[in-house]
A = this chain, B = another copy of it.
Amino acid sequence: MNIGLDMMGGDFAPLEAVKGIRLFLAAHTAPITLYLFGDEALLGPLLKEYAIPADSYKIVHAPQVIGMHEHPTKALKEKQQSSIAMGFHTLATGKTDAFISAGNTGAMLVGALYSIKAIEGVLRPTIATIVPKENGQTGLLLDVGLNADCKPEQLNQFAVLGSLYAKYILGIDQPKVGLVNVGEEEGKGNILAQATYPLLKENSAIQFTGNIEGRDVFGDKADVMVCEGFTGNIILKLAESFYDITQRQQVKNTYFDRFNFESYGGTPVLGVSKPVIIGHGISHDKAFMNMLHLAVKMINSDLLEKMKDSFTTV
């Protein structure tokens, strides 16, 4: 198994990435090779300093870095020697089985959409976020910002992609799918939600349980929550801000602690043909470790093959 990791991405790169690798290798015992993209002169000594076993990684020298605020498409085109561009190139040619970066989110999305292919039959890839449920379980919300405007058919596909992710990665056997909406009854909502409801209802590949409202996001009604990326992004950022508020208000609570993104690490891009994970810019070692574990899980569970099968039969 070969996993690609951008060592230059994120506000605390490459140090926190190296520390994350150390944490990851302490728990992961199966054979693995990490392809580490970045400045060789910088990475070599640092990896030695942190005693990362030499047989666990290969440094791929990438002399360029895409900054956090660079224009994604332009940067990817002009900086072909950047860690993100080279990371995707290595993924596309099959040398690696997954690619992870906490760098420029836009460049990661552009790379995921154009360097590797979408799964055949998928109209648009999507990005999802983990939702800590109040009952202790974990839900999935998608799309959270890649597709600000959607068609009903896309939301129906997000439901399938999200259900497979929930089953094989989150371990939810028969994930319940809810449509994010403004009311419980069929027929409620805006034009998009009204048109999406019957598609979800008739989709035999998922367990549709109906509409869920804003108040149900952290509740038991649905495991996989589907919406266009405008609403999803606002829910995601609002929830993050609630966590920040609890921190500022010095609220000590184990449930709210689960809102800390470090505990899950990164956002998978779903609907593309290989595992791609995008990390938060402020990722620390724990987030990098969790993204590496997630990549392993996505590869070991054969999630991508299951998604491909699902779209060839639909």
Contacts and interface: CB of A to CB of B under 8 A. Distances in A.
A248 interface: yes
B244 A215 contact: yes
Count of this chain's copies in the oligomeric assembly? 2
Contacts of A239: 214, 238
A241 B214 contact: yes
Given A134-B248, A182-B148, A255-B245, A217 B230 contact: no
A313 interface: no
Given A134-B248, A234-B231, A251-B251, A149 B215 contact: no
Nearest to A213: B237
A249 interface: yes
A235 interface: yes
B251 A237 contact: no
A250 B273 CA distance: 45
A149 B190 CA distance: 5
A152 to B, nearest CB: 14
A233 B149 contact: no
A291 interface: no
Contacts of A189: 148, 230
A219 interface: yes
A231 B227 CA distance: 11
A235 B218 CA distance: 13
Contacts of A148: 182, 189-191, 193
A241 B218 contact: yes
Interface of A: 134, 145, 148-149, 180, 182, 189-191, 193, 213-219, 228-231, 233-242, 244-246, 248-249, 251, 253, 255-256
Given A182-B230, A217-B238, 11 more contacts: A134-B248, A148-B182, A148-B190, A148-B193, A190-B230, A213-B234, A218-B241, A234-B235, A238-B238, A251-B251, A251-B253
